A and B are shown apart, each in its own frame.
Chain A
Amino acid sequence: MTVDAIIVGSGPGGATVADVLTTAGWTVTIIEKGRNHLLDPEDLRRPAFDYSNDEIKFLNRHFLGPDPLVEPRTFRTSEDDGDRLHVGEVNSVSSTVGGGGTHADGKVPRFRPEDFRVHSLFGPQPGAAVADWPLDYDELEPYYAEVERAIGVAGTDGANPFAAPRSGPFPMPSGAPMYGATRSAAAAQRLGYHPYPAPTAANSVPYDGRPACNNCGFCAYFGCPTHAKGDPIAMLQHAMATGRAELLTETFVSRVRMEGRRATGVDVIGPDGVRRSLSGGHVVIAAGAIETPRLLLLSGVDHDLVGRYLMTHFQTITAGSMPFRTYAERGRAVTHVHDDMIVGDDASRAAAAEAGLPWIRGGLVEHGGAGLPIMEAKHLPWGEQHPRLMADSPIRAHLWAFIMQGEDLPYAGNRVDLDPTVKDARGFPVARVTYRPGRHELVASKHYGPRLVEILKEMGAGWTAFTTSPGTGNAASPEAVPESRHNMGTVRMGTDPATSVVDPSGRLHQADNVVIADSSVFVTSAGYGPTLTLAALAARAAHLMV
């Protein structure tokens, strides 16, 4: 049997494509290499209830995968490091039904119009391949609105003075603000910033058959035990309800089969280890910005840009110890953000000029805490003082933090390729990440970090700390591996086949029926989490297919 489309990956990109295509009457097979803990195996239209408030299972035992022992990646900061510096976990997004959508805390901001036209509006940067996207915000807006409705996004209209124009209101009002965030937002406001309730794909009211979030606090890194988070279970449930979607789990796609300019299907290895071929009219790849280029390379797609321009968001992390309890263990992990450090001001223009750069752009700043006890314990020392420190709880009960998801510029040297020797348990070469921040990222972080510390002090912080991920010191240290899971840009979109891999509809320039539907296609990284934008692009790509 040949289905109309094979979709590789069940995360927000693949799920969105499945929803749109099946609604249009197509038959699809969704192939996921991870396990299914999201949908009821007896009836895939219904949710499963495997997720739980369990710090051991999710943060210490790889429940959502990938397990770095059997599916490692490798890392180096540049070719000068040799073949690799690290083997293991590198920028790992969940490998499970639902993909990256299952683990995140569901912040889903839109990009703003200028994010699609950075080159035109601000100009080039030395050493970086800054370019405009081949489509603009207005073209994407209807698809942003469509995926916001599908997953259910809670937000407050008009709260962000820098927000992109919207064709309609948020589907739901914002949920309860976290106590610590009310304090940090007030402090930021006193210093002239513009914090606002983060657009969040966690229900504030019952929505689409799923309950309102009950604020359990086990949010970022955890699957949602009640399925108040709609991304991407909503789209998968919709696709399954049409009766036209099939879901294969624990099934690894090892190759896209090509005949000239057409893909005929994919080679897979199933849970039983048996290899077989599946045929499909179209092949949609939505495996994430590291696994997607890996699959293209394993399939012999011949284009020097496949894997290049990897961007991850250079994180500026500031934290302060508050003289009051922050209650970070209650609520949606992050309820407030601000855009000021993307937008910039006279001071940031001066900082850029002083560094000899044409401009700098920071990123979305997330206001949050750290409410988990095992995480705190591992950061505190052992010995006689341990019980007292844990009871006083400088981190879990008193820490407040800002993470700035700084815009990474696209550099050709930051890339994904196949490691020359390290393999996964199935015997295939793993993805090797070569990444280091450029001068723009370092200058922006150095400029904005102290300003975030000022807000923490205004909030009442005693001690404060300012660091980055990746760290900027020793390349051989594990801290050189970025913490960010916002992987983007490795299969660049554009109109010119010489400078891009896919066309503006997400289709490979080299093949008529292969579509990339994840953050691989991003031209620049903006300073916003990629999920909503990649889902909107996936929705657009799917509508253009039918």
Chain B
Amino acid sequence: MPVWLTDDQYRTLASVCDRLIPPSESGPGAAAAGVPDYIDGLLGAFTFDPPRIWAGGPTSGRHGGRSAFGTFHRLTDLDELAWRMRIEGSRGLPEREFNGPVIGLQQLYREGLEALGEDFIRLDPDEQVGRLRSLPDFTDLVYGHTCEGMYGAPEYGGNRDQAGWRAIGFDGDVQPRGWTDQEVSDP
């Protein structure tokens, strides 16, 4: 269940993610790896308390230590202002428009997914690629977030079961284990 996107938007986004990082012999594509949930979680970050902006520290528990990434940081008023501007846009609110209007990610995703068309999920992959190439700004935006969701910490909603890291042989967050001097100097 998406937290911010509609079900239709979520399905379109999942198709987009799989064109950007498709399934392959090295692992699942971005959709199965949870990237749409990462993006939906960012767009709907303020439906959570604390908002899901910054995961906790110092360890995730994947290499020892406690599982602290899942406890997100509280935001200060200034942090909240910045992230609401980034996600929601300035919406005509004077306290968000001290340097003029700001378009938020929610609007960019709403309009971008609409521009891709309701039929996007039914197109064949080549046609989907063509349509993405016709919207380069939106595609660049989604691709940046897709990289974060695919190869970032799973606590943000993507990289499900560390699928992104497994596909590329990356060990992820390694604290508190770290690396031995021998693994560093003479691997």
Residues of A within 8 A of B183 (CB): 215, 330
Q: Does B135 contact A (CB under 8 A)?
A: no
B150 touches A216 (CB 8 A): no
- Find residues 204-226 in chain A having any chain B CB closer than 8 Å to their own CB: 213-218, 225-226
> Is there an interface contact between A56 and B152, defined as CB atoms closer than 8 Å?
yes
**Choice from B151, B175, B185 contacting A373 with Cβ under 8 Å:** B151
Q: Is the CB of A271 within 8 A of B77?
A: yes
Given contacts A52-B58, A57-B54, A250-B76, contact A393 B168 (CB under 8 A): yes
Complex: how many Å from CA A397 to CA B171? Answer: 12
Count of chain B residues with a beta carbon within 8 Å of a chain A beta carbon: 67
| 8 Å CB contact of A49 from B21, B57, B165, B177 | B57
B81-A70 in contact (CB<8A): yes
Which of A59-67, A151-159, A532-540 contacts its partner?
Answer: A59-67
Query: B10 to nearest A CB, angstroms?
Result: 20
Q: Does A327 contact B (CB under 8 A)?
A: yes
**CB neighbors of A among B155-187 (8 A):** 156, 164-165, 167-181, 183-187
Given A52-B55, A52-B59, A383-B129, the answer on whether A427 and B98 have CB atoms closer than 8 Å is yes
Majority-rule SS of A interface residues: loop
Interface string of A315-326 (1 = CB under 8 A from B): 000000000010
Q: How far is the CB of A528 from chain B (nearest CB, A)?
A: 25
**Closest Cβ–Cβ distance, residue B43 to chain A (whole Å):** 14
By a CB distance below 8 angstroms, the chain B residues around A52 are: 55-60, 68-69, 173, 175
- CB of A216 within 8 A of CB of B179, answer yes
Say yes or no: A216 contacts B78, CB within 8 Å. no
A225 touching B179 by the CB < 8 A rule? no
Q: Give the chain A neighbours of B117 by CB distance below 8 A.
A: none
Residues of chain A with a CB closer than 8 A to B167's CB:
387, 390-391
The answer to whether B98 and A182 touch across the interface, beta carbons within 8 angstroms, is no
Interface size of A in residues (CB-CB distance below 8 Å): 62
B24 / chain A contacts, CB cutoff of 8 Å: 387-388
The answer to whether B59 and A225 touch across the interface, beta carbons within 8 angstroms, is yes
Q: Complex Cα distance A152/B119, Å?
A: 61
Binds A, one of B1-9, B106-114, B141-149: B141-149
| A35: chain B residues within 8 A (beta carbon) | 76, 79
Q: What separation, in Å, do the CA atoms of A383 and B133 have in the docked complex?
A: 11
User: Whole-angstrom distance between the alpha carbons of A72 and B174 in the complex?
Assistant: 33
Shortest distance in angstroms between B122's beta carbon and chain A's nearest beta carbon?
20
Q: Which residues of B contact A427 (CB under 8 A)?
A: 98
- Which listed residue, A175, A214, A396, touches B177 by the CB 8 Å rule? A214
Contacts of A384 in B (CB 8 A): 22
Q: Is B116 an interface residue (CB 8 A)?
A: no
Contact code string B4-27 (vs A, CB < 8 Å = 1, else 0): 000000000000000111111111
Whether the Cβ atoms of B184 and A331 lie closer than 8 Å is yes
Contact between chains at A54 and B57 (CB < 8 Å): yes
A374 at the interface (CB under 8 A from B): yes
Asked whether any CB of chain A lies closer than 8 Å to the CB of B39, the reply is no
Q: Which residues of B contact A386 (CB under 8 A)?
A: 20-22
Q: A54-B173, A55-B152, A67-B82 are in contact. Are A225 and B147 (CB under 8 A)?
A: no
Query: Which residue of the partner chain A has the closest CB to B38?
Result: A56
- Please indicate the chain A residues that have their CB under 8 angstroms from the CB of B171 in the complex: 329
Closest-by-CB residue of A relative to B125 is A384
CB of A53 closer than 8 Å to a CB of B:
yes
B91-123 at interface with A (beta carbon < 8 Å): 95, 98-99, 102
In contact, A179 and B59 (Cβ under 8 angstroms) = no
A176 on the B face (CB < 8 A): yes
Contact, CB under 8 Å: A383 / B20: yes
In the assembled complex, B32 has its CB within 8 A of some CB on chain A: no
A377 at the interface (CB under 8 A from B): yes
Are A214's CB and B187's CB within 8 A?
no
Rounded to whole angstroms, the CA-CA distance of A391 and B69 in the bound complex is 26
Q: Does A50 touch B at the CB level, under 8 Å? A: yes
Asked if B99 contacts A176 (CB within 8 A), the reply is: no
Distance between A139 CB and nearest chain B CB, rounded to angstroms? 38
Question: With a CB–CB cut-off of 8 A, which chain B residues contact A413?
Answer: none
The answer, yes or no, to whether A422 is at the interface (CB within 8 Å) is yes
Q: Mark A404-439, 1 if CB is under 8 A from B, else 0.
A: 000000000000000000111101000000000000
A383 touches B57 (CB 8 A): no
Can you add 14 more A-B contacts, CB < 8 Å, to A60-B148, A218-B173?
Answer: A50-B56, A52-B57, A53-B173, A54-B152, A60-B152, A69-B82, A214-B176, A215-B179, A216-B173, A331-B185, A374-B148, A388-B24, A390-B167, A393-B168
Q: A-side interface residues toward B, CB under 8 Å?
A: 35, 49-57, 60-63, 67, 69-70, 72, 87, 175-179, 182, 213-218, 225-226, 250, 271-273, 325, 327, 329-331, 373-374, 377-378, 382-384, 386-388, 390-391, 393, 396-397, 422-425, 427
Q: Which residues of B contact A (CB under 8 A)?
A: 19-27, 53-60, 68-69, 73, 76-79, 81-83, 85-86, 95, 98-99, 102, 129, 139, 143-144, 146-148, 150-153, 156, 164-165, 167-181, 183-187
Q: List 16 A-B contacts (CB under 8 A).
A: A50-B73, A52-B68, A52-B173, A53-B174, A55-B152, A67-B79, A69-B102, A175-B181, A179-B187, A214-B176, A216-B178, A217-B179, A271-B76, A377-B150, A386-B20, A391-B169
